[in-house]
Structure 1
């Protein structure tokens, strides 16, 4: 009969009442310690080497009407293990030259920044809000919001279509 009771070996009590583990259990614990420690170190290093990540990105567009200005509000959660250096935001029409040639980090260098506030752990909630006037001059149709995130360690993430909205 082979069962859990036999495979682990007996646990003996010493004269003082302390338990003594079998040699097999002790050796397993000793051998497993460095393996688990190494896995933990790998996980820590792996987490520190991740590029910044965007989640929960949304864009909310309100068209101007009469004398009232409209607005564009973009929010996203950004996680960067080394912390955030900058979050750049650009709204662009889906039928623009960026759609043909592609948007690059260089294109994002001079655009406006979002305001970010810590929201727990390595994550910050970033918001970009701009007033919209003269929507008659803006191309109608679908627009995208591009985001360039730069972490304090220099890692970057460019998401050219983090969120969408429509100008009617």
Structure 2
């Protein structure tokens, strides 16, 4: 009887050890996560240019390789067809700085000229983010933040 218990216990340790190794391997391949995403739009005023600033925290266990940002009006073609990672391939990258273990704070700022503001659609806009980890996993948040152009 004690031999059977010892064999069962040994088998259990092997199974649990294997499950733990699988969980650790799987945890290393999880997609990046975004948190605390905010967008701030300031329209040009007088002779002063405006700006769009987007900030987000990105966490990836393998490290963050890149964070790309795209602002788009709610009434654009992206609203109907849906934004994809391929759409984000050639957009501008945010500047990221370490802010914790496996976490970076990323900031994207672009000036808004009066001519650009006058030509931009009024109303709701969305900010999309494509975060890529060092291990190649990605996260696409098509509406990470929003702002209004008046």
TM-score where L is the length of structure 1: 0.77
Report the equivalent of 2:62: 82
Query: Matches of 2:134 and 2:99 in 1, distance apart?
Result: 17
Q: RMSD of aligned C-alpha atoms?
A: 2.1
Q: 1:145 aligns with which of 120, 127, 133?
A: 127
Structure 2, unaligned runs of 5 or more: none
CA shift digits 1:63-109 (9 cap, x unpaired): 11111111111011111111111111000000011111111111111
Report the equivalent of 2:141: 159
CA shift digits 1:30-80 (9 cap, x unpaired): 777556644543332221020111111110111111111111110111111
Q: Which has the larger radius of gyration?
A: 1
Q: Which structure carries more relative contact order (alpha carbon 8 Å, separation 6+)?
A: 2
Report the equivalent of 1:13: none
Report the equivalent of 1:116: 96
Report the equivalent of 1:51: 31
Is 2:29–2:135's contact at 8 Å kept on the other side of the alignment? no
Residue correspondences, number: 145
Segment of structure 1 superposing worse, 38-47 or 153-162: 38-47
SS of the residue corresponding to residue 87 of structure 2 reads helix
Pair 47,73 (structure 1): closer, same or farther in 2 beyond 3 Å: same
TM-score where L is the length of structure 2: 0.85
Quote the offset at 1:157 in angstroms: 1.1
